[in-house]
Amino acid sequence: MKIANKQISAVSLVKEAFEKARQFAKYNVFVSLADEEKALKKAEEIDKKITAGEEVGPLAGVPYALKDNFLSKEGNTTASAKILESFHSPIDSTTVKKLEEAGAIMIGRTNLDAFAHGSSTENSYFGPSHNAKDFDRVPGGSSGGSAAAVALDIVEFATGTDTGGSIRQPASFNSVYGFKPTYGTISRYGVVAMASSTDCIGFFTKNAEDMDLLMSICAGQDEKDLTTLPSFYNHEEQKYFVPEIAPKTAKIGIIKDFRNDSIDPEVQCVLDHEVEKLKAAGHQIVELEMPTLKYALAVYYIVVPAEVTSNLSRYDGIRYGYRSEHAKNLGEVFGLSRNEGFMPENKRRIMIGNFVLSSGFYDAYFKKAEQARTLIIEEYQKAFEKCDYLLTPVSPSPAFKLGEKVSDPVAMYFEDVMSVPINLAGLPSLAYPAGESQDTKMPIGLQLIGQRRSDKSILDFAKYLAKEIN
């Protein structure tokens, strides 16, 4: 680390991050900046410890951006929603706590689709964020602000959440790395819930090495989150692919079912080019049929809205958050506060969720969707009997223009067609830069998918790809 080696000071890094945040303010990446004076004081203390020869954490003095659905005692946690506009958290999320203990310094909270409901960061109470590569295009969502903050080189890394592609798609759109770990690898404690059975905590970085470091710091079981898995990330047996130690040929699965007219030809071209490079390097390409995946998008948009409905029921204008000034009785407190406090996409998902859970429709929709989810999980298990990793596009198209799909929810939902199956199955997946559109010059990312608990293996293979293939 340059800071630990005294090549650069923590103070100068933090100062530069705040300066860049202000420089790129028009991109609307941040909903709020941290207290600069406090941040610089933390940096000064780190520099003093290093000068004195004292031990510091692995992220000492490194500036980072926090997606604004992570609870932190510093500032307000809004989830980019009006209903939480003034909410001040009394606790720190487990991830924030671990990052701070490692010495990282938060410089601001990033914009997102309100409550993480969206694929473009246009569904935010604070207005849309902009793509780091093209101001007129979306940065992806829901973690668009975090992805753009890293791509604009404001911070070294940023946190994100991924429920159906909310880390990987923005990473692809902004040409950075974005990782969704195995479900339960990182604690969800202190993160505003979207859909609890698919929510995952992850990060945006500029390379796989930094992602590996962040995972080693933040992965692990947490008694405050009963869905977290026993610690496995740093165990030696998880290092399946370390070319420097034990080079091997990998079997890469390509899903034939994703080859269709709905996929942008330029995206397909980038995938084909990557496959040819892997073949040339001696890796085996395995073509797979996974017909159940065609139902994944429909399954996701039944299961997830049902969980969204439950998780958003706590925002009632009574306990905390926004309360309508126009309410004249208890019923209006509930109704008006939620109507005024939620964004249109939030309301849409609540309505869908209530519908699929209602009497007479539960068996027809929700129950069948959960059964189909089981089939999807089983199909992935069979696929990994034939290959080490799966390689697919992240999204069917590069970043689209702001406003292009806002009025067409179905078209917006289709942006998740290649990412949601992974969340339903609880698998790890890394989005990495792989090419660009020849027409628009916009980034195109691919995703490397592994079986459960192969998180370390995926990142090791990504390091190899960056060094030897790309």
**Per the residue annotation, which of 119, 120, 142, 187 is the catalytic one?**
142
44: burial class by Cβ within 10 Å (0-12, 13-18, 19+)? Answer: middle
Which band of pLDDT confidence, cut at 50, 70 and 90, is reported for residue 245? Answer: very low
Helix (H, G, I), strand (E, B) or coil at 64: strand
Which band of pLDDT confidence, cut at 50, 70 and 90, is reported for residue 307? Answer: very high
Q: Which domains does the chain have, with CATH numbers?
A: 10-237 (3.90.1300.10)
Q: Which two tokens stand for residue 212?
A: 């590996």
Least confident among 3-17, 21-35, 191-205, 306-320: 3-17
Which band of pLDDT confidence, cut at 50, 70 and 90, is reported for residue 419? Answer: very high
- What pLDDT is stored for residue 3 in this prediction? 63
Give the sign of the dihedral formed by CA 176, CA 179, CA 180, CA 186.
negative
- What pLDDT is stored for residue 232 in this prediction? 84
Tell me the DSSP string of 336-359: HHHHHHS-HHHHHHHHHHHHHHST
Q: Which of 300, 315, 307, 89 is nearest to 189 (CA)?
A: 89
For residue 470, pLDDT beyond 90? no
Report the share of the chain in percent with pLDDT over 70: 96
For residue 236, pLDDT beyond 60? no
pTM of the model: 0.96
Which band of pLDDT confidence, cut at 50, 70 and 90, is reported for residue 6? Answer: low
Residues 104/198, Cβ–Cβ less than 8 Å: no
Q: Which two tokens stand for residue 95?
A: 């991830």
pLDDT tens per residue across span 66-79: 999 999 999 999 99
Residue with tokens 């929510």: 199
Q: Which of 128, 164, 123, 168 is nearest to 145 (CA)?
A: 128
The yes-or-no answer on residue 67 being catalytic is: yes
Radius of gyration of the chain (CA): 22
| Distances from the Cα of 321 to the Cα of 76, 109, 334, 374, 392, angstroms | 11, 18, 12, 37, 40
pLDDT tens per residue across span 353-372: 999 999 889 999 999 999 99
The yes-or-no answer on residue 187 being catalytic is: no
Q: Which of 340, 372, 369, 376 is nearest to 355 (CA)?
A: 369
Mean pLDDT over the full length of the chain: 94
- What pLDDT is stored for residue 1 in this prediction? 52
For residue 247, pLDDT beyond 90? no
Query: Helix, strand, coil shares of the chain as percentages rounded to 5?
Result: 40, 15, 45
Q: Which of 66, 64, 65, 63 is nearest to 13 (CA)?
A: 63
Number of H helices, E strands in the chain: 14, 11
**Per the residue annotation, which of 20, 42, 49, 67 is the catalytic one?**
67
For residue 235, pLDDT beyond 70? no
pLDDT tens per residue across span 100-113: 999 999 999 999 99
Q: State the Cα–Cα distance between residues 103 and 62, nearest whole angstrom.
A: 7
Query: How crowded is residue 193: how many other Cβ atoms within 10 Å of its Cβ?
Result: 19
Which band of pLDDT confidence, cut at 50, 70 and 90, is reported for residue 2? Answer: low
The yes-or-no answer on residue 206 being catalytic is: no
For residue 446, pLDDT beyond 70? yes
Which band of pLDDT confidence, cut at 50, 70 and 90, is reported for residue 246? Answer: very low
Mean pLDDT of 76-93: 96
pLDDT tens per residue across span 131-157: 999 999 999 999 999 999 999 999 999
Report the share of the chain in percent with pLDDT over 90: 89
Which band of pLDDT confidence, cut at 50, 70 and 90, is reported for residue 401? Answer: very high
**Per the residue annotation, which of 146, 166, 337, 457 is the catalytic one?**
166
